[in-house]
């Protein structure tokens, strides 16, 4: 989507302008580094588009857009410690490049920085923006904890999984959009609709992420197809397969998790998933949330022509191959 | 100070009323546990006393007082990870009782909870309270980082040390008091004076902490006298000794750091410090900040009789033996 490029560039420029003190360098160098390694910047763009949708300007919502992106980066720094992830976006994670204490403390500062950026909103709009942001921030932490809890459980239902991704990732998309609406002083009904749009697009996006892992076109995907299968991740594909599997098929799924031949593991898992119609079940679930998202957008009380950018973004996100 | 007991009890009661969801339990059990293991609750009491000083009531400042205490507890949970501390207040630390991931994430949620409590302030007072709180929160993190940096350095000056304790602990006392003043809608001059009172009392308090470690009455102190010496901590006593020591005396200090006989180590260090007049240098430095604190309190434009509670608290803190 070429029209998004201008927004991405604006966010990159403004992120680069955030000033951190030189010292203590162990606290601030990691933040300069981590904010500089890029990312899709989808969340702050949502804030800008939402502000414009409701008749304000992208410029007026810039600090709040940065707040959302900075908060997102805080969660990545801390999540990377918990997931013991060595790399992110082909670069070393903060705890890997420095150490864990540095990642904890610089993450903490980045969260506070997000609040400082939020605080640049017009004073009369601070209370509602602050309330929404706090609620969302807590939900994101809950989602991360539930995700970690799932690693220890073998009885996770699909509904529980959807609720986990709603908390861990989708509420922040809703919040990003609603904060743009708050900046533009949209009505509470419109605020609620745009939040729901973000939340359900977020869920659909995550389900699609799981689908792409196994069903992406390898030539376009850019990463190893089947990465989640190889890592025995409990994606919605895995949970759907388990739900529909016979006792024998469950046994096969278990055995495949211990398979060392990676190619064989991915191929056989895909074949079994195909027998169980996993792909179409998950696609149906994704379409369900995509439809709610579009319906929520439709219900917003502004001229349809103004919604084109967000519809375009939704279509783009749902048709991606990467 | 018996008159403080009512405030402490109020804070304990209100802290116990903070409701955390039952689930995810790995996220919220640690918070119920940690807020329940007690503490001096000095910071929230400062907020209440300050609100009263400026003509408001303790009740009106309760949420903000809890905000400060909850934030303080967040810093303890994360600091305990970084310091690899197994115990706090004779109870297991969160990362020790659960694990490190739990301590990181539940700490994060506790910080957000502090913001939620701050948000209960009258909407028109939120912007100044929010600005002060954000600034303070960042300074506290900077102080923690500088403290960790000092562990790796052998050239820390006394001024640098004072600046570290100012950031790590004293600004939060200033903030606790100033937030009470904001609730009471005090003038900006009065806000600044009460902040300075807290900041300098905080510095004096920390210097006294270092002094008590070596010079407390063992029968009243309750912990091992000389604990900092045994752990080779770079306290203001240690830095003052280094500053005044001859080359040979520096050598002795270095050798004593490797001494395995704990009693001998503490005795000889104390004897050397006495030769170097360390105690009186540090006491002079402490008195300096104590005097600025009292002067700041004096400059506050309210009736002297209203200041008695805070003067009493200052005297109590400076005359403690524990």
Complete DSSP assignment for A52-113 = HHTT--TGGGHHHHHHHHHHHHHHHHHHHHHTT--EETTEE-HHHHS-HHHHHHHHHHHHHH
pLDDT tens for B46-64 read 999 999 999 999 999 999 9
Contacts of B95 in chain A (CB under 8 A): none
Q: Does the beta-carbon distance from B111 to A116 stay under 8 Å?
A: no
pLDDT tens for A53-64 read 999 999 999 999
Tokens of B164: 């570290």
C-alpha dihedral, A43 to A47 to B120 to B76, nearest 10°: 30
Q: By three-state DSSP, how is residue B201 classified? A: helix
Sign of CA dihedral A105, A109, A112, A114: negative
Q: B1-141 sits in which CATH class? A: mainly alpha
Q: Which of residues 194-233 of A touch B (CB under 8 A)?
A: none
Q: Report how far residue A116's alpha carbon sits from residue A48's, in angstroms, rounded to the nearest whole number.
A: 18
Helix ranges (H only) for chain B are: 2-17, 25-36, 42-53, 62-82, 94-97, 100-118, 126-151, 158-165, 171-183, 188-215, 218-221, 227-230, 236-244, 247-257, 262-275, 278-299, 308-318
> Does the bond joining A253 to the residue before it have cis omega, within 30 degrees of 0?
no
pLDDT tens for A140-181 read 999 999 999 999 999 999 999 999 999 999 999 999 999 999
Q: Calculate how close chain B gets to A293, using CA atoms only, in Å.
A: 27
Q: Report how far residue A135's alpha carbon sits from residue A141's, in angstroms, rounded to the nearest whole number.
A: 10
Domain boundaries, chain B: 1-141, 187-322
Q: What value does the mean pLDDT take over residues A103-116?
A: 98
Q: Report how far residue B193's alpha carbon sits from residue B295's, in angstroms, rounded to the nearest whole number.
A: 9
Q: Does the beta-carbon distance from B127 to A115 stay under 8 Å?
A: no
**Contact call for residues B118 and B63 (beta carbons, < 8 A):** yes
Annotation: CATH topology of B187-322: Farnesyl Diphosphate Synthase (1.10.600)
Residue of B nearest to A28 (CA): B142
Q: What percent of chain A has pLDDT over 70?
A: 99
Kindly state whether A104 is in contact with chain B, defined as any CB-CB distance less than 8 angstroms: yes
pLDDT tens for B208-247 read 999 999 999 888 887 888 999 999 999 999 999 999 999 9
pTM above 0.90, yes or no: yes
What pLDDT shows up at residue A59? 97
Residue of A nearest to B164 (CA): A24
What pLDDT shows up at residue A1? 60
Q: Does the beta-carbon distance from B26 to A149 stay under 8 Å?
A: yes
Mean pLDDT of chain B: 96
B1-141 against B187-322: fold identical: yes
Q: Calculate how close chain A gets to B29, using CA atoms only, in Å.
A: 12
Q: Does the beta-carbon distance from A24 to B116 stay under 8 Å?
A: no
pLDDT tens for B186-208 read 999 999 999 999 999 999 999 99
For residue B88, the cross-strand partners are B91
Q: What percent of chain B has pLDDT over 70?
A: 99
* B101 closest CB neighbour out of A82, A105, A119: A82
Q: From its phi and psi, is residue A18 left (phi > 0), alpha (psi between -120 and 50) or beta? A: beta
Kindly state whether A38 is in contact with chain B, defined as any CB-CB distance less than 8 angstroms: no
């Amino acid at each position: 989507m070429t029209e998004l490029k201008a927004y991405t560039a604006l966010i990159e420029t403004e992120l680069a302008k955030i000033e951190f003190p030189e010292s203590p360098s162990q606290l601030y160098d990691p933040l300069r580094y981590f904010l500089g390694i890029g990312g899709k910047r989808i969340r702050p763009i949502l804030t800008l588009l939402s502000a414009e949708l409701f008749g304000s300007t992208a410029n007026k919502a810039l600090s709040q857009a940065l707040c959302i992106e900075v908060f997102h980066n805080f969660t990545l720094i801390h999540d990377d410690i918990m997931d013991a992830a060595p790399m992110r976006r082909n670069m070393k994670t903060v705890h890997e490049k420095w150490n864990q204490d540095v990642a904890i403390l610089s993450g903490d500062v980045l969260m506070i920085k997000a609040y400082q950026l939020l605080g640049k909103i017009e004073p009369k709009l601070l209370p509602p923006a602050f309330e929404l942001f706090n609620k969302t921030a807590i939900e994101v932490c809950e989602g991360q904890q539930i995700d970690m809890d799932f690693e220890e459980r073998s009885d996770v239902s699909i509904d529980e999984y959807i609720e986990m991704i709603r908390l861990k990732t989708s509420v922040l998309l809703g919040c990003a959009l609603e904060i743009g609406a708050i900046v533009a002083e949209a009505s509470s009904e419109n605020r609620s609709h745009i939040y729901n749009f973000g939340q359900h697009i977020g869920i659909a996006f995550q389900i699609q992420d799981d689908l792409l892992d196994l069903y992406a076109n390898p030539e376009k995907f850019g990463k190893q197809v089947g990465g989640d299968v190889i890592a025995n991740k409990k994606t919605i594909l895995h949970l759907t397969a388990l739900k529909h599997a016979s006792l024998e098929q469950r046994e096969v799924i278990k055995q495949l998790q211990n398979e060392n031949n990676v190619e064989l593991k991915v191929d056989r898992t895909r074949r079994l998933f195909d027998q169980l119609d996993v792909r179409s079940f998950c696609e149906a679930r994704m379409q369900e949330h995509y439809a709610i998202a579009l319906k929520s957008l439709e219900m917003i009380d502004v001229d349809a022509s103004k919604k084109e950018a967000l519809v375009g973004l939704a279509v783009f996100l749902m048709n991606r191959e990467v």
